[in-house]
Structure 1
Amino acid sequence: MDNAARTADYLSRRDSRLSALKTFLADSVPAKALSQLTFEIGCGHGHYLTAYAAAHPDAFCIGIDLLKDRIIRAGRKRDRAKLTNLLFLEAEAREFLDALPSLAALADIFILFSDPWPKRRHHKNRILQSDFLSALAAKTRPGARLCFRTDYAPYFSAAQATVASHSDWKVDASDSWPFELETVFQSRAASYQSLVARRASHLAT
């Protein structure tokens, strides 16, 4: 298969995934919840977001992960807890943002112990990049929180610098971590660092 054919095949597959995501989200997210969504990127087996949804019954929560097995296990936790305000989806973060209904807005975004991609040549794969922060900001309203936690100090420093230099987000040292629950990765970490940023008010809503 030549490059043009591979590109066409990739775009076709992406369009198919986006179409399926848009349909699922339109059918599954209550209209009244669209303006205040809680979103976890890399939800793993769902420990954190299941506990969050149980503790915040008025919040509608969506967790995504790239691995189907994790989503299946997370869904089982949700079902055992009988939570109706929680969805788990197999999805890539940027595609999820593109698939959100036009009226949707993220109120809280959690990124917990994401892959730090420690090798320099792999830094481009880290999720907290400037263009991704812009994409997140486009799906939020002023005051929305971005909550990031990692046990890899160099990644934290890089992420903190990226967020602090981005005009759409402001790091707020006075903001406390909104919901504490020890995740599997956190339990294994000798130490970790947390960052809470707020979406700046200069963007149009």
Structure 2
Amino acid sequence: MPLETAQAITATRLAELRALLAPLLETKLPLTLEIGSGHGHYLTAYAQAYPERYCIGIDLIGDRLDRSARKSDRAKLKNISWLRADVGVFLEALPAETRLAEIFLLFSDPWPKRRHWKNRVLQPEFLSLLASKAGEGARFCFRTDHAPYFAQAQQFVTEHADWNLCPQEPWPFELATVFQQRAEAHQSFIARRAAITHPQG
């Protein structure tokens, strides 16, 4: 695909997402984001348990989002929305003043072959972009059933100036997702957005 065409598609998608987000972000509730929300089991249950938060689930597969919406509609939830979006485009579409309070990344594709590790969601660049949209003290919750991915992700977070690992902090909400039920074991960590320093002057 020519670069100009790809840029035009991205620009169009950004405009569409910003239009979709505008009414959702009128809420005064703290924002929780799930990246790769699958069939919506986890986030629907989370939104039901925490009505004081507004939850947004993003995924790339339309059928998953349709299933998710049916779940939250059956539960008559008003504090949850589902959007088809790549995480990078979604974060770019957020207004400059919007800050996420909580982010979940659960069982994302581990891309187990070493030559494919560059495709993993959690990379240093991703952590920087996420930090730019996270409020001070925002919670980032990561879980995977792939031990090498966990080790790499934990290392990236440990070495990143914008995030602090919180090994003693309990997992905020337990619900066995489809992926979790299939996994023989899993590992988790929680990180908090570091203090935001403002330039002098």
2:186 corresponds in structure 1 to 192
Distance in 2 between residues matched to 1:121 and 1:169, nearest whole Å: 27
TM-score (norm 2): 0.96
Establish whether residue 153 from structure 1 lines up as the match of residue 147 from structure 2. Answer: yes
Consecutive unaligned residues of structure 2, counting only runs of 5 or more, are none
Distance in 1 between residues matched to 2:125 and 2:24, nearest whole Å: 28
Counting only pairs closer than 5 Å after superposition, residues 87-166 of structure 1 correspond to structure 2 as 87-166=81-160
Distance in 1 between residues matched to 2:49 and 2:58, nearest whole Å: 19
Distance 1:42 1:203, change over 3 A: farther
- Alignment identity in percent? 54
2:51 corresponds in structure 1 to 57
The answer on whether the counterparts of 2:34 and 2:58 sit within 8 Å (CA) in structure 1 is yes
Consecutive unaligned residues of structure 1, counting only runs of 5 or more, are none
Distance in 2 between residues matched to 1:120 and 1:111, nearest whole Å: 21
Distance in 2 between residues matched to 1:119 and 1:159, nearest whole Å: 15
TM-score (norm 1): 0.94
List per-residue Cα deviations over 1:117-149 (Å, max 9, x = no partner): 001111011111001100000111221110000
Distance in 1 between residues matched to 2:125 and 2:21, nearest whole Å: 24
2:55 counterpart SS class: strand
What is the root-mean-square deviation of aligned Cα atoms in Å?
1.3
* Equivalent residue pairs, number: 199
The answer on whether the counterparts of 2:106 and 2:143 sit within 8 Å (CA) in structure 1 is yes
1:68 corresponds in structure 2 to 62
